[in-house]
């Protein structure tokens, strides 16, 4: 009975494609890779900035998926949290703050795009040649299951390398880990935080800002007219002054 069910099920599902032979890791790799690359190209092709940001989110999210597939869970989660959840929200925020028309798009010239496209294709050819030239990089994965890296990364950041045993080595040969880079990055982030807040703060100015000039709608003549009307009304008995 049971093998019978299995045969029917297998026949039903396996008829269109020999699914049993698919390496599912590769399948998901190609899925995520297609999304990442496709939307990266879409970022270049899109005109509207918000659409670009949206495509970038999908591209970076798929890249996080690639990181998970490579066994780098911590980096993948970090990518999702900081890149996608933080940086890109910040970017869209920037788009909203600087948008004048409802859907801002600043088009580049056609000639630039052609030149950039040619340079890009050449660069891509060079990079692909480099990527595919080393034989050991082209070996299919042996499939050594990666150990979870979150704890070793955390320990490395506080200065203890637990991933590289160095059994029997004297203590000073143990590699120092990443305390110093970690501290430098921390201070760097603090400085950046203060600096960004300083740069983007609201300033008091004597002259109107360019954006205010651009936003002022009417020429002063009509303002003067309105003022004149107001003066007339207040001089004569009018509704505004209560008919005094």
Partner 1 sequence: MLLGLSFAVPLFGLLTEPVSVAHYLVVGAILFVSGIVCMAIKRNALGVLMGIELVLNGANVNFVAFASPYLQGTGSRSLGLDGQVIAVFVILLAAAEAAVALAITLNFYNNHATVDVDRADDLKG
Partner 2 sequence: MADFLITTLELPAWLAWSITAMVAAVLILNVIAGGALVFIWAERKIAGRIQDRLGPTRTGGKFGWLQSLADGIKLLAKEDLMPDGADGMLFRIAPYVSFCASFCAFIAFPFAFDFIGQRLNVGVFFVIAVLGLEVFGVILAGYASASKWSLFGAMREAAQVVSYEVPLGMCVVVPVMLAGSMDLVTIAEKQGGWFTSWFLFHDPFTFVVFWIYVTCAIASVNRAPFDLAEAESELVAGFHTEYSGLRWSYFFMAEYGSMFLVSALAAILFMGGWNGPVPVASILGLSEGTSDTANYFVRLLGMINLLGKATLGVLAMMWIRWTLPRLRIDQVMATCLKYCTPLAAAMFLGAMLWQIALPGGLVPGLRRPAAEIREGWLPGPGGAARSVGEDAGTVVKVGA
138 binds, among partner 1, partner 2, none (CB under 5 to 8 A by kind): partner 1
For 160, list phi and psi in degrees, rounded to 5: -120, 120
**Residue 207 makes contact with partner 1 by CB under 8 A:** no
- Binding residue for partner 1, selected from 124, 169, 224, 227, defined by CB under 8 A: 124
63 binds partner 1 (CB under 8 A): yes
Smaller CB separation from partner 2, 33 or 88: 88
43 contact, one of partner 1, partner 2, none, CB 5-8 Å limit per kind: partner 1
Q: How near is the Cβ of 111 to partner 2 at its closest, in Å?
A: 28
* DSSP symbol at 177: -
Q: Which residues contact 156 (CB under 8 A, 6 or more apart)?
A: 162, 163, 177, 178
Q: H or E element: which one contains 193?
A: helix 179-199
Residues 6+ apart with CB under 8 A from 75: 67
Minimum CB distance to partner 2, residue 156 (Å) = 11
108 touching partner 1, by CB under 8 A: yes
Which of 5, 8, 13, 22 is close enough to bind partner 1 by CB under 8 A? 22
Q: Which one, 183 or 232, has the nearer CB to partner 1?
A: 183
The distance in angstroms from the start CA to the end CA of the chain is 104
Return residues touching partner 2 (CB under 8 A).
Answer: 2-3, 5-6, 9-10, 13-14, 19-20, 22, 24, 48, 50-51, 54, 57, 61, 73-74, 76-78, 80-81, 84-86, 88-90, 92-93, 95-96, 102-103, 147-152, 155, 160, 162-163, 165-169, 171, 174
Q: Which does 239 bind (CB under 5 to 8 A by kind): partner 2, partner 1, none?
A: none
Q: Which does 230 bind (CB under 5 to 8 A by kind): partner 1, partner 2, none?
A: none
Size of residue set near partner 1 by CB under 8 A:
103
Region for 30 from its dihedrals, namely left if φ exceeds 0, alpha if ψ lies in -120 to 50, beta otherwise: alpha
Q: Among 73-81, 165-173, 218-226, 227-235, which window interacts with partner 1 (CB under 8 A)?
A: 73-81
- Residues 241 and 244: their CA atoms lie apart, in Å, by 6
As to burial, measured by CB atoms within 10 angstroms (0-12 exposed, 13-18 middle, 19+ buried), residue 79 is buried
Our CB check for partner 2 shows the closer of 43 and 160 to be: 160
Contact 57, 91 (CB under 8 A): no
Residue of 74, 49, 58 whose CA lies nearest to 155: 74
> Closest CB to partner 1 among 210 and 240?
210
- The CA-based angle 64-179-164, given to 5 degrees, is 70
């Amino acid at each position: 009975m049971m093998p019978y069910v299995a045969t029917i099920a297998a026949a039903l599902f396996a008829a269109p494609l020999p699914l049993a032979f698919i390496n599912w890791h590769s399948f998901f790799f190609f899925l995520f890779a297609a999304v990442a690359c496709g939307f990266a190209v879409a970022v270049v092709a899109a005109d509207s900035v918000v659409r670009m940001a949206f495509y970038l989110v999908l591209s970076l999210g798929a890249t996080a998926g690639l990181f998970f597939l490579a066994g780098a869970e911590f980096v993948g989660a970090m990518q999702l949290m900081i890149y996608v959840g933080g940086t890109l929200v910040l970017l869209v925020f920037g788009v909203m703050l600087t948008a004048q028309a409802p859907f801002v798009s600043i088009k580049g010239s056609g000639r630039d795009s052609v030149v950039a496209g040619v340079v890009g294709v050449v660069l891509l050819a060079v990079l692909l040649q480099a990527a595919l030239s080393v034989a050991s990089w082209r070996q299919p994965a042996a499939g050594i299951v990666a150990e979870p890296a979150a704890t070793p990364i955390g320990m490395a950041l506080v200065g203890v390398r637990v991933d590289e045993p160095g059994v029997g080595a004297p203590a000073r040969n143990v590699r120092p880990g990443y305390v110093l880079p970690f501290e430098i990055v921390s201070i760097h982030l603090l400085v950046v935080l203060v600096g960004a807040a300083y740069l983007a703060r609201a300033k008091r100015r004597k002259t109107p800002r360019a954006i205010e000039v651009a936003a002022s709608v009417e020429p002063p003549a009509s303002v003067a007219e309105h003022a004149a009307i107001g003066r007339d009304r207040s001089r004569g008995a009018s509704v505004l002054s209560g008919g005094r």
